[in-house]
């Protein structure tokens, strides 16, 4: 993974003291949620990231040489039960999920160019309610998962109008079924 690092961040894994951090950005319909693996707020890239410390957990991000769809999961524990209703009501399907690896310099400033470890789409959410506190696990999948999905598009005018209203690109497909086309000679 060190070969994916660029700029000043490329030298960080080789320092005598390494200060890594994970940053997670989840693009919900109600607005983005940004969290990082430390404690307290973190300012990077013009936005503030909330520190979740030991209450947050990220699954291992698999990296292979094969063309394989690997997912990731993001977990947050210690959630009061009264905050679960907005989580359940929020539509998350196919919303963006990003995971960055960042490093800090000796002054605890983010070293430029954190590396994007995972870019995927949110898929499902699992809630484990323990009474006083709950744990939320959000699962995201790689965009490569789309290769496994069946495409149910038809090359008809009705299908084209549903996707692109007013487009006339497929309006003559039905009439082409019965037309006699003579190539290379005059009729």
What is the structure's pLDDT at 147?
67
Q: Are 52 and 37 in contact (CB under 8 A)?
A: yes
How sure is the predictor about 145, in pLDDT bands with cuts at 50, 70 and 90? low
The span from the CA of 141 to the CA of 94, in Å, is 9
Q: Under the phi-then-psi rule, with left for phi > 0, alpha for psi from -120 to 50, and beta for the rest, what region is 31?
A: left
Q: In this predicted model, what pLDDT tens digit does every residue of 95-134 receive, in sequence order?
A: 999 999 999 888 888 888 888 888 999 988 888 887 788 8
Query: What mean pLDDT comes out for the span 43-67?
Result: 84
pTM beyond 0.75, yes or no: no
pLDDT of 13: 78
Encode 11-71 in three state secondary structure: HHHHCCCCCEEEEEEEEECCEEEEEECCCCCEEECCEEEEECHHHEEECCCCCCCCCCCCC
Higher pLDDT, 8 or 168: 168
């Amino acid at each position: 993974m060190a070969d994916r690092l660029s700029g000043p961040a490329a030298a960080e894994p080789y320092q005598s003291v390494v200060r890594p951090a994970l940053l997670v950005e989840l693009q919900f319909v109600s607005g983005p949620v940004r969290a990082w693996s430390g404690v307290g707020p973190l300012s990077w890239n013009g936005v503030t990231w909330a520190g979740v410390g030991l209450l947050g957990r990220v699954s291992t991000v698999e990296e292979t040489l094969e063309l394989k769809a690997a997912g990731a999961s993001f977990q947050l524990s210690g959630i009061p039960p009264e905050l679960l209703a907005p989580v359940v009501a929020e539509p998350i399907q196919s919303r963006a999920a990003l995971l960055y690896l960042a490093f800090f310099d000796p002054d605890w400033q983010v070293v430029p160019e954190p590396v994007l470890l995972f870019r995927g789409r949110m898929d499902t959410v699992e809630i484990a309610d323990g009474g006083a506190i709950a744990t939320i696990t959000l699962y995201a999948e790689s965009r490569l998962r789309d290769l496994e999905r069946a495409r149910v598009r038809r090359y008809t005018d009705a299908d084209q109008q549903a996707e692109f209203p007013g487009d006339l690109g497929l309006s003559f497909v039905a009439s082409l079924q019965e037309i006699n086309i003579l190539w290379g000679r005059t009729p």
